[in-house]
Structure 1
Amino acid sequence: MRIVVTSIFVDDQDKALDFYTRVLGFEQRQDVPAGGARWLTVGVPGEDAGVELLLEPAGHPAVAPFTEALVADGIPFTSFAVDSVEDEFHRLLDLGVAFTQPPTRMGPITTAVFFDTVGNLIQIADTAD
């Protein structure tokens, strides 16, 4: 068994696609009409068989209270690995990304948390010393 797709709820699929590709650097994988929305995924460039992130519409009634509670409590919806949190923090700041937590050492890792513009807090983490 392996993970093929994981989801993140987004309040605007077009805006999410722009942010996750242009700003974060993922590449679009799938874009298939699915009723009033799309099966829209992104992945790591060059990892064609890698895990895809589904930019899932946040239309279900349970999503808004769930994501709002996470944001209110400062809890990231998911975490992405980076080579250097410091470098990525500065790169994303230069692109106008809003951080809720600057690079912070937490034991053996460094993390930072930003708002993805479509309803979620996202954590980046590295294990570099």
Structure 2
Amino acid sequence: MKIKLTTVYVDDQEKALHFYTQILDFTKKADFSNGSFRWLTVVSPDEPDGTELQLALNDNPAGHAYQQAIFQQGQPAINFYTEDVKGDHERIKARGGDFIMAPTEVPGSTIAQLHDTCGNIIQITQLARW
């Protein structure tokens, strides 16, 4: 069994596509519509056949409530791993990323958090070397 797809709810798919591709540097994988429904996914350029992140419109009341609740609690909607959180922080910040937490050492890792412009907090984590 594998994890092939995970979802993050967004309040605007076009804005989300811009953020995840232009600010975070992911690659668009799938983009097709059926009426008002749009299936939109991105992947890491390092793993083009890896796990896809669906940028799902939060037009479902349950999805909208979930997205708002975790945002209000300050909880990240998704966590990305990196080998260089400080370098990614500088690169993303230079592209306009809105960080709410600069790289911060916590037990076992260094983390940074930012807004994705679409209603979510994103966490970037670099695991400590043992």
TM-score by length of 1: 0.93
Equivalent AA in structure 2 for residue 123 of structure 1: Q
1:72 alignment counterpart: 72
Contact 2:23-2:96 at 8 Å conserved across structures: no
1: distance between equivalents of 2:21 and 2:49?
18
Runs (4+) of structure 1 moved beyond 3 Å?
none
Secondary structure of the 1:119 match is: coil
> Once the 2 structures are TM-superposed, how far is the Cα of residue 92 of structure 1 from its aligned partner?
1.5
2: distance between equivalents of 1:35 and 1:64?
20
Q: How does 1:1-129 map to 2 (within 5 A)?
A: 1-129=1-129
Q: Which runs of 5+ in 1 are unaligned?
A: none
Higher mean C-alpha displacement, 92-101 vs 72-81 = 92-101
Deviations along 1:34-90, one digit per CA (max 9) or x if unpaired, are 330211111011423201011111100122222122111110011001121111112
Identity value in percent: 39
Over the residues paired in the alignment, what is the CA RMSD in angstroms? 1.3
Number of residue-to-residue matches in the alignment: 129
1: distance between equivalents of 2:92 and 2:46?
21
TM-score by length of 2: 0.92
Q: Given the superposition, is the C-alpha separation of residues 47 and 119 from structure 1 closer, same or farther in structure 2, using an over 3 Å criterion?
A: same
